[in-house]
Structure 1
Amino acid sequence: MDSIKSKINSGAKWTSIATLVITLLQMGQFVILGNAMSAREFGMIGMLTTIIIFAQIFVELGLGAAVIQKHHATNRQLSTLFWINILLGILICIVMQAASPIIADYFQTNELEGKIRLLSIVFLIAPIGQQSQYLMQRDLSFQLLGKIETIATILSFGLLIGLIVFTKEDPINAYVISQICLYSLKGVLFFICYLPKWKPSFVLDMKDCKEFFSFGIYQLLSRLVNRLGSNVDMILIGRFIGMEALGIYSLVYQIVTIPVLKLNPIITRVAFPVFSKDKNNNQTLETGYLYMTKLLALVSFPLLLGLYSVADIVIPLFFGKQWGEAIPILQIMIIVGILRVLMNPNGSIILAKGKANISFYWDSGVLVCYSLALLAAVQSEQLEMVAWTYVAVSILNFIGGRILLTRMIGLQLKRYIKVLLLPFILAGVSSVIAFVLKNQMISLHNNLVWTLIWSVLISGISYFLLFLVTKKLELRGEYQ
C-alpha cells in the first residue's frame, strides 16, 4: 500500500513541475489567440486541434500502452514497433494532404484546406520519439520526460509570440507552425535522450509482435471512440451551428479542459505503469485508485469551482468583452470538467488489468449515447442546449463508470464517496468566499483586475488553511 503511494508521489512530483509550466504557457497561448482572433478564427483553431488529436491516435496505433503494460518486450519487437510508427506517420501525412479539401468542404470553410496540409508535416517528424517516450514512462523516468516537454513547450510558445508580435503572421498560421515545432521537437528530443538505453534496429517482424497488436488494436479503437466521443460536440457544432459558435464553444472547452487534461496526467500518467506492476492485486489497485482520485480532487475541485465563481470576470478580463456569450456556457461546462477529472483515472485501471477490449466496448457505447444526444441538441442551434446535453450524458457515463470499477477491482462506493467529500466541501466553501467577495468588490468599484486578484487570493488562502486544519484533525484521529 505504502509502496504504490510512494511510487505515485515520486512520479507525480516531477510530472507536476513540468505540467505547471506547460499549463501556464498553454493558458497564456489561448489568451493571446483569443485576443488576436475573432470567434470564427478561434473556431478554426478548435477544429485543427481536433484533427491533430485524431491523427495522433492513428499514428500510435495503441502500441504505446502495450509497451508499458508488457514489460518483457525484446529489442526486436521494440524496433518493429518503432518502424511501424514511422510508416504510419508518413501514411497519415499523405492522407491528411489528400483529405484536406474534403474536411474543409464538410465544415464549409475553405481556409481550413491549406492549414490542414501545413499541419500534416508534424507526422513526418513526431513519430521518431514516440517509442522512446513510452519506454521512459515504463521506466518511470518522469523527471526526464518533464524536462523535455517543458523545453519543447517553452520554445514553441516563444515561436508563437514571435510570429504574431514581431512578424505579424496570420494568427492561425502562427498557431499551426508553433504546433509543428512543439510535436516535432518533443519527438526528436525523446529519441535522442533515450538513445543511451535503446536504439532501434533495422528490423520489421510483424509476426513477433502479435501480442502487442492484439492489445494495441483494442487500445487504438478505444482511444479512437473515446476521442470521437470527446470531440463529437466540436464536429457537430462546426457543421450545424457554424464556426463562430464553434469558436465560442472551443474557447470555453479549452478553459475548462486545460486544467483537467494537464493536471490529470500528473497522476494518471504515473499510475498506469505503477498499477501495471500490481495488476493482480485488486486491493492494492483500489487503494491506489482512491488515493489517485483524492489527489486529483484536491487540486481540480478548487480550480474548477473557483472558476465558476469568477467566470464573469475571467472572460472579459483575459479575452475581451466580445467573448461575453461564452460566460454562461463556461459555467455550465464546469460540471463537465469536474466529471472528466473523476472519470479520467478509470483508463489507468482498465489498461493495467490488460482489459483494453472492455475499454473499447465501454467507449463505443458512450460514443453512441453522446453522438445521438448532441446531434439532437445542435438542431436547436443553441450552445446552452448543447452544453446541458453534454452535462446530462456525462453524468450517466460517470455513474456507469463507478459500477464498472466495483466489478473490476471491487471498488467500494462508500469509500469512494468519502474520499471525494472533503475536497468537494473545502472547494465549495472557498468558491462561495470568492463569489461573495467578488460581488462586494464590484459593487464598491469596477476594477476587474483587483477584484479577481483579491477574490482568488483570499479564497485560495481559505482553501489552503481549511485543508491544513482538516489534515491535522485527521492525523489526530489516527493517533487517538
Structure 2
Amino acid sequence: MTTKQRAISDIRWSLLSAVKIVAIGALQLSLLAQVLGEGEFDMLATSIIMLLILDTLCDRGFSNKIIRRHILNNNQLSTLYWFNIISGLAFFAVLFIGSDVISRFSGQPELGLMIEMLSLVFIIIPQGQHYRAILQKERHFTRIALTETAAVITGMTATLITVWLSPSILCAVWGYLAMVSVRTLMFCCYGREYFQAEFVFNMKSLSSLRRTR
C-alpha cells in the first residue's frame, strides 16, 4: 500500500469511527432519557460535560503535543510517561478528597459518589493517552479509530447492563469507566511496539521539553 493509499484509508476509518461514536452516543443518551428522572438527567448532562472536559484536557496535555511534534529518545518518553502518571495521581487525589465537600455543598450525595468514580479516570487515561500520541505520530490512525470504536461500543454495553440492573445516574459513569479502560488497554497493546517505559524520571529533561512545546 502506497503512502497516499494508506492516508486515504486512515482518513476513511477515522471518519467512520467518528460517525459511529456520535451515533452510539446519541442512542445512549436517548435510552437514558427514557429511564432517568428529570433531575437525574440534568445531572447526567453535567457529568457528560465533565467527561468531555476530562478527555480534552488529557488529549491536549503538553506532553502529548511534545510527543507528536518532536523526535524523542526512550529516556525522554519515559520521563513524560511517568510525569503523566504522577500528574494523574495528583488530580485523582484532589478530586477524590474534594468530592465530599462538593457533595455537601450541592446537597446531592450521589454527586459525591459520581465524582469519586470519575476521579479514577485520572489513573486510567494518562497511560493510554501517552501511547495514543505515539500512534498518532507514527500515523496509525486506523488503529486509533478501531480502538475508539471498540471502546465506545464497550462503554455503551456496560451502560445498558447497569441500566437494566439498576437505573441511575451512575450508569453513564460505569459505561465511561468501561470505555476508557478498554481504550487504554488497546492503546497500550498497540503502542508497546514503539515504546516501553523505563524507570527513568529526569527533571532536567522534563524542563527542557517544557520549553520546546
Per the normalisation by structure 1, the TM-score is 0.41
Per-residue CA deviation, residues 169-207 of structure 1 (Å, 9 max, x unaligned), is 133111111111111211111011111222111100121
Contact 1:59 1:89 in 2 (8 A): no
Matches within 5 A, 1:363-378: none
Aligned partner of 2:206 in structure 1 is 209
Q: In structure 2, what is the Cα distance between the partners aligned to 1:116 and 1:207?
A: 35
Quick one: distance in 2 between partners of 1:155 and 1:106? Answer: 34
Partner of 1:66: 66
Look up the match of 1:191. Answer: 188
Supply the AA of the counterpart residue of 1:177.
W
Matched to 1:138, the amino acid is K
Asked if structure 1 preserves the Cα contact closer than 8 Å seen for 2:36 and 2:167, the reply is no
Question: CA offset at residue 106 of structure 1?
Answer: 4.8
Counterpart of 2:134?
135
Report Cα offsets for 1:120-161 as digits up to 9, x if no partner: 222222222211100111111011111111111111111111
Tell me, what secondary structure is at the counterpart of 1:171?
A: coil
Displacement after TM superposition at 1:109 (Å): 3.2
What is the CA–CA distance in structure 2 between the aligned matches of 1:68 and 1:7, rounded to whole Å? 19
Aligned to 1:80: 79
Residues 55 and 96 (structure 1), Cα distance of their counterparts in 2 relative to 1, 3 Å cut: farther
2:100 alignment partner AA: P
Q: Within 5 A, what are the aligned runs for 1:234-273?
A: none
Once residues 8 and 108 of structure 1 are traced to their aligned partners in structure 2, the CA distance between those partners, rounded to angstroms, is 51
Alignment partner, residue 154 of structure 1: 153
**1:477 aligns to what?**
none
Cα 1:148–1:126, aligned 2, differ >3 Å: closer, same or farther? same
Per-residue deviation at 1:23? Answer: 1.6
Deviation, 1:6, is: 7.8
Other-structure match for 1:424: none
State the match for 2:94 in structure 1: 95
Change (3 A) 1:59 1:197: closer
Q: Which residue of 2 aligns with 1:115?
A: 114
Rounded to whole Å, the distance in 2 between the matches of 1:172 and 1:215 is 42
d(CA) in 2 for partners of 1:104 and 1:39? 19
What amino acid maps onto 1:33 in structure 2? L
CA distance in 1, matches of 2:106, 2:6: 46
Separation in structure 2 between the aligned mates of residue 45 and residue 215 of structure 1, nearest angstrom: 39
* 1:38 maps to 2:67: no
**Separation of aligned partners in 2, 1:80 and 1:30:** 39
Distance 1:150 1:137 in 2: 16
Deviation at 1:215, TM superposition (A): 5.1
2:115 is the alignment partner of 1:124: no
- How far residue 60 of structure 1 moved from its aligned partner, in angstroms, is 6.4
Q: Distance in 1 between the 2:89 and 2:200 partners? A: 18
Letter matched to residue 181 of structure 1: A
Among all aligned residue pairs of Structure 1 and Structure 2, give the percentage whose two residues are the same amino acid: 22
User: Unaligned 5+ residue runs, structure 2?
Assistant: none
Q: Which string of whole-angstrom CA distances, capped at 9 and with x for unpartnered residues, describes residues 248-270 of structure 1?
A: xxxxxxxxxxxxxxxxxxxxxxx
Aligned with 1:176 (options 173, 176, 187): 173
Question: How far off is 1:44 after superposition?
Answer: 1.0
Deviation string, structure 1 residues 91-139 (Cα, Å, up to 9, x no partner): 1111111111333345453321111112222222222221110011111
Aligned equivalents of 2:146, 2:61: Cα separation in 1: 26
Contact 1:125 / 1:188 at 8 angstroms: preserved in 2? no
CA distance in 2 between counterparts of 1:198 and 1:33 reads 40
What whole-Å deviation, never above 9, does each CA across 1:203-249 have from its counterpart, x for those lacking one?
00121133432355xxxxxxxxxxxxxxxxxxxxxxxxxxxxxxxxx
Rounded Cα–Cα distance in structure 2 between residues aligned with 1:113 and 1:21: 32
2:49 match: 50
1: CA distance between counterparts of 2:12 and 2:95?
38
Query: Where does the alignment leave 5 or more consecutive residues of structure 1 unmatched?
Result: 217-480
- Contact 1:76 1:203 survives alignment (8 Å): yes
SS in 1 for 2:89: helix
Residues in 2 aligned to 1:93 and 1:129: alpha-carbon distance in whole angstroms: 16
C-alpha RMSD over aligned residues:
2.4
Q: How many Å separate the matches in 2 of 1:177 and 1:16?
A: 26
- Partner amino acid, structure 2, of 1:12: I
CA contact (8 A) 1:126 1:185 kept: no
- Distance in 2 (CA, whole Å) between partners of 1:193 and 1:132 is 8
After TM superposition, the score normalised by the length of structure 2 is: 0.88
Aligned equivalents of 1:55, 1:155: Cα separation in 2: 19
TM superposition shift of 1:8: 6.4
Give the match for residue 376 of structure 1. Answer: none
* Residues 340-379 of structure 1: per-residue CA shift (max 9 Å, x gap): xxxxxxxxxxxxxxxxxxxxxxxxxxxxxxxxxxxxxxxx
Equivalent pairs counted in the alignment come to 210
- 1:55 is displaced (CA, Å) by 4.3
